[in-house]
Amino acid sequence: MIRIEGVGVYRGAMEAVPTGGGSVNVVNVLNVNNYARGSVPGEVPPEWPMETLKTFAVAARSIALSTDVGGKGFDLYPDTRTQVYGGVKLESERTDQAVAATRNQVATYQGEVAQTTYFSSSGGRTESGFLGAPDVPYLQSVPDPYDYYSPLHTWTFRFTQAEMNSRLGPYMRGRLRQIQVTKRGDSPRIEYARLIGTGGPSTIRGDTLAAALGLYDSWAFFKKVK
């Protein structure tokens, strides 16, 4: 069974997992085929060729079964930190057909389920794996010289101080003073960063930082401007 950080409209069962401090995480528990039904149309258009949709169905299952983000009661995120899962509201007839045609199929490497990562734009270099990825030889950082064709090859976001405080508030103490990147991967995407707040420092994962700010990727650099 797959356990996903809570989402709205879902299949399977929901579990309430205590997190301490009087709060709980709502976790969606479902089988891997139903997970693929809600994730494939979240990642690729259902109008794409059927063989492509079948490939993504296999990839979706493989990522789900080879990844553990170490959440409190859940294994996967429902967004681009793992892969997009939108539940019943995203399901479509064509992607359901692709999932059914490849039922229970996964990619393997030396007898283990392979983590079949994919992306819409690499920024010019792939990563050798992300947090929660297995240490395997097939996940190696390589240059992608053709990514400049992508409209998201480079991008810029601007935030006011108030916007940064609001978006990063759940992950820091007080108001934001500075973001310090403490560890990058080979690409070099952010693996960990330190949020320096008025109440002291806190650590945040790079994928969580990117998701909180709505960035396209964790390959990012920060500069304070007047």
pTM over 0.85: no
Does the pLDDT value for residue 98 go beyond 80? yes
Which of 86 and 21 is assigned the larger pLDDT? 86
What local confidence, expressed as pLDDT, does residue 26 receive? 84
Per the structure, the complete domain to which residue 171 belongs is given by 119-226
Residues 147 and 107 in one domain: no
Residues 225 and 201 in one domain: yes
CA distances, 224 to each of 19, 164, 168, 207 (Å): 35, 11, 16, 21
Final residue before a domain boundary, out of 56, 85, 118 = 118
Mean pLDDT of the chain: 90
Residues 7 and 114 in one domain: yes
What local confidence, expressed as pLDDT, does residue 15 receive? 75
Residues 47 and 21 in one domain: yes
Question: CA-based Rg of the chain, rounded to a whole angstrom?
Answer: 18
Residues 71 and 138 in one domain: no
Say how many CA atoms lie within 13 Å of 102 toward its Cβ.
27
- Give the integer Cα–Cα distance in Å for 226 and 118: 37
What local confidence, expressed as pLDDT, does residue 219 receive? 95
All residues at 6 or more sequence positions from 73 whose CB lies less than 8 Å from its CB, including other chains: 3, 15, 17, 19, 25, 27
Residues 32 and 136 in one domain: no
Residues 99 and 135 in one domain: no
Here the contacts of 182-186 (C-beta below 8 Å, separation 24 or greater) are 185/127, 185/128, 185/129, 185/130, 185/141, 186/125, 186/127, 186/128, 186/141
What local confidence, expressed as pLDDT, does residue 9 receive? 55
Best CA proximity match to 128, nearest among 141, 119, 115? 141
Residues 138 and 61 in one domain: no
- Total domains in the chain come to 2
At residue 133 the predicted structure's pLDDT band, cuts being 50, 70 and 90, is low
Helix residue ranges, H only, the chain: 32-43, 50-66, 93-101, 161-168, 206-213
Final residue before a domain boundary, out of 85, 118, 151 = 118
pLDDT per residue over 140-171, tens digit each?
Answer: 899 999 999 999 999 999 999 999 999 999 99
Q: Residue 226 gets which letter from DSSP?
A: -
Residues 44 and 64 in one domain: yes
Residues 135 and 183 in one domain: yes
Residues 125 and 113 in one domain: no
What local confidence, expressed as pLDDT, does residue 80 receive? 84
What local confidence, expressed as pLDDT, does residue 131 receive? 67
Final residue before a domain boundary, out of 98, 118, 138 = 118
Residues 113 and 126 in one domain: no
Is there a contact between 92 and 40 (Cβ–Cβ < 8 Å)? no
